[in-house]
Amino acid sequence: MAHENYNECIAAELDHKEVKRIAAGLSRYAKQAEVLGLTIFGGSGTGTLRFNDNSGFGPLIVAELDGLFSGGDGAALEEDGLLRGEL
């Protein structure tokens, strides 16, 4: 279940309720995409929906997404006690 990281929201001076609403919406859409066999892919600032047709040529890019997307995880709990991602 999607949830906001309260302490990180406070550190970022963001409304944790708004962050939770956005996370829940994105999670809901990700689950719907998964049912269709789609992967939400982010990288180099762009986002796409991809479908693996097992052709051996890589997944089909069935849609391009608006907004800022980043790929990778790189999350770590840092010394300040906050969960931080890669730069």
pLDDT of residue 43: 80
For residues 67 and 43, state if they share a domain.
yes
pLDDT of residue 1: 77
For residues 9 and 25, state if they share a domain.
yes
Residue 59 zone, left/alpha/beta (φ > 0; ψ -120 to 50; rest): beta
Residue at token pair 């796409």? 48
d(CA 41, CA 18): 23
5: domain range? 1-35
Q: Which helix or strand (DSSP H or E) is residue 27 part of?
A: helix 16-35
pLDDT digits (tens, 9 = 90+) for 5-52: 999 999 999 999 999 999 999 999 999 999 999 999 988 778 999 999
36 vs 73, more confident: 36
pLDDT of residue 87: 63
For residues 19 and 43, state if they share a domain.
no
